[in-house]
Amino acid sequence: MMRRWLLLMAFCLISFAGEAEKLLKQGNNALNEEKYDDALSLYDKALVESPENPYLIFNKGVAYFKQGEYEKAMKEYKLAVEKLASQKRGDSALEARAFASMGNACFLQAKPLLESNLDQASALCLGAVAAFDEALRIRPEDAALLENRKAARMLLKKILGIKYMQAKEQQKQQEMAQKLKELAERQKQAADETAQQKPDVQKQEQLNQETQELMEQMSGQNQPQPQQQDPQQQQNPIQEAMQQARQAQDDATQNLKENQLPAAEAKQREAAEKLEEALKQGQQQQQQQQQNQEGDDKQEQDKDKQEQEKEGDDKQEQEKDKQDDSEEQQQQQEQNEQEAQENKEEPKEDAQEAQEIIDRERQDKKEREQGEKRNYRAVPMDW
pLDDT tens figures, 209-224: 999 999 898 887 544 4
Encode pLDDT of 297-325 as tens digits.
Answer: 566 656 655 665 565 555 556 555 555 55
How far apart are the C-alpha atoms of 76 and 60, rounded to whole Å? Answer: 7
Neighbours of 341 (CB within 10 A): 10
* Amino acid of residue 274: K
Query: Residue 29: what pLDDT?
Result: 94
How far apart are the C-alpha atoms of 320 and 23, rounded to whole Å? Answer: 20
Encode pLDDT of 160-201 as tens digits.
Answer: 999 999 899 889 888 999 999 999 999 999 999 999 999 999
pLDDT higher at 381 or 95: 95
Query: Residue 375: what pLDDT?
Result: 42
Query: Residue 6: what pLDDT?
Result: 43
Cβ atoms of 157 and 130 closer than 8 Å: no
Cβ atoms of 278 and 177 closer than 8 Å: no
Superfamily of domain 11-140: Tetratricopeptide repeat domain (1.25.40.10)
Q: What is the DSSP letter of 376?
A: -
Query: Residue 311: what pLDDT?
Result: 59
pLDDT over 60 at 144, yes or no: yes
Cβ atoms of 103 and 128 closer than 8 Å: yes
How far apart are the C-alpha atoms of 82 and 101, rounded to whole Å? Answer: 15
The pTM (predicted TM-score) of the whole model is 0.60
How far apart are the C-alpha atoms of 102 and 81, rounded to whole Å? Answer: 10
Q: Where are the domains of the chain?
A: 11-140, 171-209+237-289
pLDDT over 90 at 251, yes or no: yes
Query: Residue 149: what pLDDT?
Result: 96
Q: Mean pLDDT for the chain?
A: 79
Q: How many residues does the chain have?
A: 383
